[in-house]
């Protein structure tokens, strides 16, 4: 993750984060210690100039890179939840989304990174499914495994929610760092439970993109959820922030491994690992903007093109932010680059 034109950060399964300078890549600027398990996400808040990291230890940690020394930089634990898989900030840094292997999606609204969140210090806005027909979240059985991550005991209730007194739950308004707990709707049987392994955000902040698998590992989906803003429909039953708009079933191969998918820089296409290759998906056959083809009910994503060039299961794919190019990487370590022909 680049912090500016020359400084960038990398995270590692050795529990550390490293800062690098493009002008001197033979040595690190500094190594940051604070996590106790694999570090899997790095975000950067351009408003506060704070680095945000998350790992399989369940912690989200804030780093003040403006006060770095060779020994590291000041940091603090911002948030903790069990079964944390991925953490993202919206493009305007107003929300933090956290996905879990137990099927929950957590959203911190009106984000304030300068205030650490201890259990009980923040209100829960609502805890429910992303369907409009249900006012109560259905827990169900869910997966406790995280692909390639340390084993967890199965528990479908986030630690923060279990320890939060009922009196602190809030309905209606949205103070700083208010927590929304969702169980995203996915195709298939609702009582089977899901594991949210990959989490991405639309480049314009319109939607979130999830890769979900059933707790029995026999089905896998890519799902798009539109952000719904505005006042609650009823004070006693606030509207969920997310609505399922598009989805597609994926090739159920490479069980136990996380497949990282992504939006194109303009948000019109999705690149998704599919077996030994990738699929380019659109909201319609013409690669229209999401806001121009929002369905009333969840609709299938359209397959624009399939690209297969690997001899092993593809685990990650990414669009270039500046060039007309896509990259994919497979389990055996090979990276392929694709460019369109005009």
pLDDT, residue 214, reads 81
Do both 117 and 204 map to the same domain?
A: no
Average pLDDT over residues 22-29: 92
pLDDT, residue 147, reads 39
Do both 15 and 117 map to the same domain?
A: yes
pLDDT, residue 97, reads 96
pLDDT, residue 170, reads 38
Predicted confidence band of residue 190 (pLDDT cuts 50, 70, 90): low
CA nearest to 35, candidates 84, 70, 1, 2: 84
Burial class (CB in 10 A: 0-12, 13-18, 19+), 216: exposed
Do both 94 and 6 map to the same domain?
A: yes
In a domain, 148, yes or no: no
Q: What is the 3-state secondary structure (H, E, C) of 33-83?
A: ECCCCCEEEEEEECCCCEEEEEECCCEEEEECHHHCECCECCEEEEEECCC
More confident residue, 34 or 189: 34
CA dihedral 21, 2, 63, 124 (to 10 degrees): -170
Model confidence pLDDT, tens digit, residues 195-208: 899 999 999 999 99
Do both 77 and 215 map to the same domain?
A: no
Listed ranges 98-107, 170-179, 223-232; the one with the highest mean pLDDT = 98-107
Check: CB of residue 49 under 8 Å from CB of residue 65: yes
pLDDT, residue 340, reads 83
CA nearest to 84, candidates 16, 137, 152: 152
Q: 5 pLDDT exceeds 60? A: yes
What is the span of the domain harbouring residue 55? 1-127+176-183
Q: 162 pLDDT exceeds 50? A: no
In a domain, 138, yes or no: no
In a domain, 326, yes or no: yes
Q: 12 pLDDT exceeds 90? A: yes
CA atoms within 13 A on the CB side of 61: 27
Q: 320 pLDDT exceeds 70? A: yes
pLDDT, residue 238, reads 55
Model confidence pLDDT, tens digit, residues 110-143: 999 988 766 555 555 554 565 433 332 332 333 3
In a domain, 134, yes or no: no
Whether the model clears a pTM of 0.75, i.e. scores above it, the answer is yes
Do both 227 and 300 map to the same domain?
A: yes
Q: 168 pLDDT exceeds 80? A: no
Residues 319, 280: Cα–Cα separation, whole Å: 11
Do both 194 and 293 map to the same domain?
A: yes
In a domain, 305, yes or no: yes
Q: 233 pLDDT exceeds 80? A: no
Q: 219 pLDDT exceeds 90? A: no
> Residue 50 is part of a domain; what is its CATH number?
2.130.10.10
Model confidence pLDDT, tens digit, residues 68-96: 777 778 899 999 999 999 999 999 999 99
Do both 238 and 326 map to the same domain?
A: yes
Do both 232 and 314 map to the same domain?
A: yes
pLDDT, residue 223, reads 95
Do both 197 and 337 map to the same domain?
A: yes
In this structure, what token pair is assigned to residue 322? 């500046």
In a domain, 105, yes or no: yes
Overall number of domains in the chain: 2
Model confidence pLDDT, tens digit, residues 39-54: 999 999 998 999 999 9
Q: Of the candidates 150, 167, 183, which is a domain's last residue?
A: 183
Do both 210 and 112 map to the same domain?
A: no
Q: 67 pLDDT exceeds 50? A: yes
Please state the separation of Cα 241 from the chain's center in Å: 15
In a domain, 197, yes or no: yes
Residues 190, 170: Cα–Cα separation, whole Å: 27
Do both 106 and 204 map to the same domain?
A: no
């Amino acid at each position: 993750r680049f912090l500016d034109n020359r400084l960038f950060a990398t995270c590692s399964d050795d529990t550390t984060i490293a800062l690098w300078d493009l002008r001197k890549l033979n040595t690190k600027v500094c190594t940051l210690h604070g996590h106790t398990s694999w570090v899997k996400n790095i975000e950067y808040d351009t408003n506060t100039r704070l680095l945000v990291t998350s790992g399989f230890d369940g912690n989200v940690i804030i780093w003040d890179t403006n006060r770095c020394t060779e020994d590291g930089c000041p940091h603090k634990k911002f948030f903790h939840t069990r079964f944390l898989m991925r953490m993202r900030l919206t493009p305007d840094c107003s929300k933090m989304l956290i996905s879990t292997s137990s099927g929950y999606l957590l959203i911190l609204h009106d984000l304030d990174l300068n205030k650490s969140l201890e259990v009980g210090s923040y209100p829960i806005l609502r805890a429910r499914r992303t369907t409009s027909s249900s006012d109560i979240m259905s827990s169900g059985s869910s997966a406790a495994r995280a692909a390639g991550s340390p084993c967890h005991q199965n528990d479908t209730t986030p630690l923060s929610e279990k320890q939060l007194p009922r009196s602190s739950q809030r309905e209606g308004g949205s103070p700083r760092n208010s927590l929304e707990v969702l169980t995203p709707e996915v195709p298939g049987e609702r009582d089977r439970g899901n594991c949210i392994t990959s989490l991405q955000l639309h480049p314009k902040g319109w939607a979130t993109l999830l890769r979900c698998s059933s707790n029995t590992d026999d089905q896998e989906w890519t799902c798009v959820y539109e952000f719904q803003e505005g006042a609650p429909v009823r004070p006693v039953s606030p509207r969920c922030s997310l609505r399922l708009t598009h989805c597609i079933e994926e090739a159920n191969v490479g069980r136990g491994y996380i497949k990282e998918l992504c939006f194109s820089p303009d948000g019109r296409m999705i690149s998704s690992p599919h077996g030994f290759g990738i699929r380019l998906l659109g909201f319609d056959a013409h690669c229209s903007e999401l806001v121009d083809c929002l369905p009333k009910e969840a609709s299938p994503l359209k397959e624009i093109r399939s690209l297969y060039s690997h001899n092993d299961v593809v685990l990650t794919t990414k669009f270039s932010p500046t060039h007309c190019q896509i990259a994919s990487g497979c389990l055996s370590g090979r990276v392929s680059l694709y460019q369109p022909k005009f």
